[in-house]
Amino acid sequence: MYWVEKVPYHIKKIYNMKKTKSSTPQILLDVLDYLKTNKLVAEAKVNGEGRMASLKDEETIIEFLKKSKKFSKYIIEVEARKAGDFYLLDYDKVTIHIVNIKTTKGSTDNATCKIGFLWAFTDMELDELPGNITLKIWNNLMKKRKANIPNRDYWYLTFDKRDMSKVFLRGAKQIVNWKYNPSNFLQIDWKMEWETKEQSYSFDESYSNIMDGMKECIRKKLVNSYPIDWVKQIAKTIK
């Protein structure tokens, strides 16, 4: 038996859970309610590029929040290629929430952010978060610095491109409908997620969903993209 077959992969969906109060911080719920009143319109493709349109949408949404008398003082813009599209300062003026903006028609969307996952599942502070890192370094940090920090998550703020007043918020610790792409790693099926009630996973269950899901993406790539005898031979050389 070679190592690929040993990859543990058990994404557990929790059924028949007791109803609990939402674990989403109040300021995020308030921002969500405020955004539902917006009259924003999603961009069409820019020069034929859907990603360019999404970037324009993200800028529009952040500007909309910055113009709000209630929320402007809590919006912290971040540099490109950092975790999330903006940081939201909590009402306590201490806690930071990292937010990733998504605009979609309900398709499956790339959702892997190694830095965002480090924020959600470790005790690393903002100034400790690395830039672009390898999966090996990321895996080591996820294990070495693993910590259950209350109210900390990596948040996906998702808008329906067909009607931008339809806004949805869910954290990486809450996502149920992960999809496993061998090229782009973890993705989210937004249509299914919109139809799924918020789940109260434990910290360890959420952590396993991410770690096991990433392993499944790699397993798929190895099995589907490379000759299996190559994989077996290479696995024997890895210590």
Please give the Cα distance from 149 to 222 (Å, whole number).
34
- Which pLDDT belongs to residue 235? 86
Domains of the chain as residue ranges with CATH? 19-237 (3.40.600)
Which amino acid is residue 152, in one-letter code? R
- Which pLDDT belongs to residue 10? 37
Cβ neighbours for 231, distance < 8 A, ≥ 6 positions apart:
2, 4, 222, 223
Which amino acid is residue 84, in one-letter code? G
In tens digits, what is the pLDDT along the chain, a chain of 239 residues?
Answer: 333 333 333 334 433 333 334 589 999 999 999 999 888 887 765 544 556 777 888 899 999 999 999 999 999 988 766 789 999 999 999 999 999 999 999 999 999 999 999 999 999 999 999 988 999 999 999 999 999 999 999 999 999 999 999 999 999 999 999 999 999 999 999 999 999 998 889 999 999 999 999 999 999 999 888 899 988 898 889 87
- Which pLDDT belongs to residue 186? 97
For the stretch 63-93, what's the b/e string if a residue is b when 16 or more beta carbons lie within 10 angstroms of its beta carbon? ebbeeeeebeebbeeeeeebbbbbbbbeeee
Cβ neighbours for 92, distance < 8 A, ≥ 6 positions apart:
none
- Which pLDDT belongs to residue 22? 58
How many CB atoms within 10 Å of residue 57? 20
Nearest to residue 88, comparing CAs of 41, 142, 178, 28?
28
DSSP string, 125-187: -GGG--SS--HHHHHHHHHHSB---TT--EEEEEEETTEEEEEEEEETTT---EEEETTTEEE
- Which pLDDT belongs to residue 51? 65
In contact, 200 and 23? CB cutoff 8 Å: yes
- Which pLDDT belongs to residue 50? 55
How many CB atoms within 10 Å of residue 58? 19
| pTM for this model (two decimals) | 0.86
In contact, 121 and 210? CB cutoff 8 Å: yes
- Which pLDDT belongs to residue 157? 96
